[in-house]
Amino acid sequence: MSVKVFSGNINIIEANGNISPYEKFIITFNPDGTKLLKTLSISPDGNLIRDVNQYFSSEWFDIEGIARLFYQNQYVGTILRRVIEGNLHSTIWNNKKEFDHTEFKISKNMHLGFHSLMNDAWKMNFLDTSHSKDQDIIVHTISETWNGSTITHGKELKSSAIYEGEEDLKLIAGNFYCQKFLWRTPSNKLLKIWRTSEAKVLARMEVIIGKNKGSIYELTNFKEESIG
């Protein structure tokens, strides 16, 4: 059976007009219906590097994720998370080669937060798009800092989003028919999110309120292919 692969790059356009590469992604639709999301995020100044690999069920529920973080030229640590029978198992290895493990009960429709841009689009997966009322989003984050510059076992955070309909976008990567959302994050940032294709790819994100206000993240190239 064939495997569908979706890949591309996202740039950040800062409020001052500076443009920098920000995130590379690969999404895999596996023959059994499960999905893989791999992202590499690098801040414009190069101070933050985040390498994330997540595994999802055929219904888009989080199963497993691993992230490695480098900040200010130093390895910060690695976190591995696995959802087993309604519990989240979380293990951290820090830069001193020490490790810590803990376990959490998790809520229904919970998302594992690893601070990747592409995964922000997937946080809209369980919203009802038949109306434009406020709906809850629950994320168990690994970092409460705005840029994800720390690794912790984290906690569940509640936020809300509104489905705003559909829109055609013209981007450097091409023309895309998108779903549009307005998300008030746990840190009270207000983000506009456009996503496209069956892989629910982040096409554009605008920071309306909060840290980095005025910044825009845009898809700069996008490829779909079938292998096998």
Long-range contacts of 128-132 (CB under 8 A, 24+ apart): 128/163, 129/163, 129/179, 131/163, 132/162, 132/163, 132/164, 132/165
How many angstroms separate the CA atoms of 158 and 111, rounded?
10
* Residue 95, pLDDT score: 87
- Alpha carbon 185 to chain centroid distance? 13
State the average pLDDT over residues 168-192.
96
CATH code, 3-227? 2.50.20
CA distances to 36, 142, 179, 201 from 5, rounded to whole Å, are 9, 27, 21, 12
Residue 148 — pLDDT band, cuts 50, 70, 90?
A: confident
**CB-facing half-sphere around the CA of 66: CA atoms within 13 A:** 5
Specify the pTM: 0.94
> Could you read off the pLDDT of 18-70 as tens digits, one per residue?
999 999 999 999 999 999 999 999 999 999 999 999 999 999 999 999 999 99
Domain ranges for the chain: 3-227
